[in-house]
């Protein structure tokens, strides 16, 4: 059985697991992440969104690792890890929508 800290860290890496799974299993779905017309800071918007989501994920991993109770771990998961995972899942569709709106 894994210690609680290890399980929390593995759970905190959920956005990374989703990103890697998406890139391997559904490369066509993740392709809009690298489109450059919606650019921010000179980079494709998808790359910026992924970097921001992974930064929030990293903060969540640290918070989950240092959580002293299950309640604080749940708050860290819901407040940091879950939103980062949602950004990873929804970002390709949002980018396609932005490209569609810009072309009109």
Q: What is the pLDDT of residues 1-16, one digit of tens each?
A: 778 888 999 999 999 9
Least confident of 30-34, 39-43, 44-48, 80-84: 39-43
93 vs 18, 46, 77, 82, CA distance in Å?
15, 10, 24, 18
Helix (H) or strand (E) holding 88: helix 82-103
pTM of the shown model: 0.87
Say how far apart CA 40 and CA 77 lie, in whole Å: 28
The answer to whether 8 touches 73, Cβ cutoff 8 Å, is yes
- Strands (E) across 9-85 are located at 39-40, 43-44
Burial of 6 from C-beta contacts in 10 A (0-12 / 13-18 / 19+): exposed
């Amino acid at each position: 059985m894994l210690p609680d800290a290890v399980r929390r860290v593995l759970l905190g890496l959920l956005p990374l697991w989703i990103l890697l799974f998406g890139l391997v299993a559904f490369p066509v779905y993740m392709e809009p992440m690298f489109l450059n017309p919606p650019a921010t800071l000179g980079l494709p918007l998808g790359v910026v969104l992924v970097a921001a989501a992974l930064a929030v994920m990293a903060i969540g991993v640290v918070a989950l690792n240092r959580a002293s109770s299950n309640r604080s771990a749940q708050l860290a998961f819901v407040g940091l890890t879950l939103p980062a995972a949602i950004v990873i899942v929804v970002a390709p569709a949002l980018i396609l929508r932005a490209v569609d709106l810009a072309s009109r």
